[in-house]
Structure 1
Amino acid sequence: MTVALRRIGRFCGNVFVPSFTVGALWLWVAFNIVLVLWIGLQSLKTSGEILQNPFGLPADPQWQNYGTVWQLGQFASAALNSIVITGVGALLIVAISAPAAYVLARSSRKVAGPLTAYFAIGLSIPLQTLAVPIVVAKLGVSTFMVDWVTGWWDDRITLMVFEVIFSLPFAVFVLTGFFRSLPREVEEAAEVDGAGPVTLFRRIVLPLARPGLTTVLVLNIIGLWNSALLVMLIVSDPEQRTLPVALLNLYSAMQYSSDWGGLFAGIVILVYPMVVLYLWVGRRIIDGMTAGMGK
């Protein structure tokens, strides 16, 4: 958070930022840190202890909560689905958006500006408004593949395609601004040395754009990992669903058994990996998000 405030301060220059705004940001950060730690503590308590002493330390850590929730919530298959869909989907998003954003950033044609604006408009379309078309398209794709092409189909493939499509506007928009911030002189020197477009992009541009690519990759990993609505719309088989949906199903079951310790353990399994990932690459995300702010 400190790095973010410093970089935003450099970007804003002489723009006055009231001290209460900075204080409010720090309060928000402190609240979220305390909330994450509090959830971790609750996952080690019994249901009775959570209700009687919600803010105290666990008297006898209940590590078995994690084993219970892992079995009852079918988290093993859900975690595998989440890892595969998140990893493959995030790599596909970067692989598609990087060349598209570079072309938009370096193109001198008049159509480049409107295309970039269309990608920005795509960020404002709520996914909920497309729920019915998504279900209809999913059914059409499944029927076509089963009846005319392969004889079988896995809804997880459809899910991954839709996840990539809906993530591309953000990725292209961010990378376009980042590519515009890169110096053209390096590319021009490589062209003088005889580098072709593919070699130039692969050996010169991509290494320079590593902070931006890392930002897009990590933010999409977080987004795909936490995606739930698309999974519920597209995937009907419980064995093929991801961790967020498995957690929702677990909540529906455990609210009647009142196993709140197990429910908090499920939240930890879902949330903590992304918290650790963000803490690990947080500075790189800030670098990538602020590099193209002035372009």
Structure 2
Amino acid sequence: MSATKQHPFYKSLTVAVLLVWTAAVLYPLVWTLFGSLKDNQQFMLGKPWALPKFPLLWSNFSYVWETYGFSGYFLNSAIVAGASTLLSVLLAATTAYILARFAFKGSGTLLNLYLSAMMIPMILGLIPLFFLLNEMHLINKLVGLIIVYTASALPFGIFVLVGFFKTLPRELEEASAIDGAGYNRTFFTVMLPLAKSGLVSVGIMNALNIWNEYIMGTVFINDPSKYTLPVGIAIMQSEMQYRTEWGPLFAGLLLSMIPVIAVYVLFQRQIADGVTAGAVK
């Protein structure tokens, strides 16, 4: 390490920048929490940035959960995110394993085709996807949304997992074949567990993206009983019409963020290590 990087001034500058960045990230979350504990009067008095007054309105959370159907939205998001994540990870793992370990004509082109899909915004395919799902009678069904989310998550998963599978020693597959294991058994019992860090990273990133997705959920689902959380929050605000209930609205936002924050806190190391390791390898 050079002498310049060890200078106290640069260390202090780095710490200061990181502290400012941390404050910029945490402030909206803290402000959302404070807003969820207020009533409309505190917002309308011209002090929306002030601390909430006592008594704190924890009842905003139960109110939005029961009155605006957040329990149903939460369950729909959990079903869609969970099923889409499992399917996308499984399909990406099998595809990435074939592309990484078996050389066949057109394998490179197929891999590039998958990777090129990462550069195409999904919003460009909304209209043809809508007509396709309509023909398949999957509009207003969570199954249709799961299929779309699974397909959209595949390119990123393949990109990361191909790097993992390429680094695994071929001697493991040869030893498994000598023991009499076929391709399926070798993949599921030997190769897949060795790529666990990559699978966890891909699964977490896909789950977070699907949990927060709004546009496709709005276009493909029009049944209020099947809305996901992002769509439910937008509908909740529109239902308030001329009088926005700011406290419950912030409470709803905070409820939708809790799973995302929990995942980032619990799996932040796996997210960083898995994505960088897979990309570098």
Using structure 1 for the length normalisation, give the TM-score: 0.83
- Which residue matches 1:85? 80
- Which residue matches 2:58? 63
Is 1:28 aligned to residue 21 of structure 2? yes
Q: What is the Cα deviation at residue 31 of structure 1?
A: 1.4
Tell me the secondary structure at the aligned position of residue 279 of structure 2.
coil
Q: What is the Cα deviation at residue 249 of structure 1?
A: 0.8
Number of residue pairs matched by the alignment? 269
Q: What is the Cα deviation at residue 110 of structure 1?
A: 4.5
Q: 2:243 aligns with which of 233, 239, 257?
A: 257
Gaps of 5+ in 1: 1-17, 146-152
Contact 1:214 1:284 in 2 (8 A): yes
Is 1:163 aligned to residue 149 of structure 2? yes
Q: 2:41 aligns with which of 48, 51, 71?
A: 48
1-structure distance, mates of 2:69, 2:224 = 9
Identify if the C-alpha distance between structure 1 residues 22 and 131 changes in structure 2 by more than 3 Å, giving closer, same or farther: farther
2-structure distance, mates of 1:190, 1:263 = 56
- Which residue matches 1:267? 253
Contact 1:175 1:213 in 2 (8 A): yes
Please list, as runs of the form range in 1=range in 2, the aligned pairs for 1:69-218 lying within 5 A after superposition.
69-142=64-137, 155-218=141-204
Contact 1:123 1:170 in 2 (8 A): yes
Identify if the C-alpha distance between structure 1 residues 105 and 28 changes in structure 2 by more than 3 Å, giving closer, same or farther: farther
Q: What is the Cα deviation at residue 180 of structure 1?
A: 1.9
Q: C-alpha deviations, 1:130-153, integer Å up to 9, x for none? A: 1211221122111xx8xxxxxxx8
2-structure distance, mates of 1:171, 1:281 = 17
Q: What is the Cα deviation at residue 25 of structure 1?
A: 5.7
Gaps of 5+ in 2: 1-9
Contact 1:73 1:247 in 2 (8 A): no
Identify if the C-alpha distance between structure 1 residues 36 and 139 changes in structure 2 by more than 3 Å, giving closer, same or farther: same
Identity %, equivalent residues: 34
One-letter amino acid matched to 2:222: S
Contact 1:43 1:261 in 2 (8 A): yes
One-letter amino acid matched to 2:116: I
Tell me the secondary structure at the aligned position of residue 180 of structure 2.
coil
Q: C-alpha deviations, 1:17-52, integer Å up to 9, x for none? A: x98788656533431122212211211111232442
1-structure distance, mates of 2:35, 2:174 = 58
Contact 1:46 1:62 in 2 (8 A): yes
One-letter amino acid matched to 1:120: L
One-letter amino acid matched to 1:125: I
Q: What is the Cα deviation at residue 56 of structure 1?
A: 2.0
1-structure distance, mates of 2:158, 2:15 = 30
- Which residue matches 1:37? 30
Q: C-alpha deviations, 1:84-129, integer Å up to 9, x for none? A: 1111111111111111011111122342222121111111111221
Identify if the C-alpha distance between structure 1 residues 121 and 47 changes in structure 2 by more than 3 Å, giving closer, same or farther: same
Q: What is the Cα deviation at residue 154 of structure 1?
A: 5.7
The farther-off stretch of 277-286 and 154-163 is 154-163
1-structure distance, mates of 2:163, 2:17 = 29
Identify if the C-alpha distance between structure 1 residues 24 and 135 changes in structure 2 by more than 3 Å, giving closer, same or farther: farther
2-structure distance, mates of 1:290, 1:116 = 19
Q: What is the Cα deviation at residue 247 of structure 1?
A: 0.2
Using structure 2 for the length normalisation, give the TM-score: 0.87
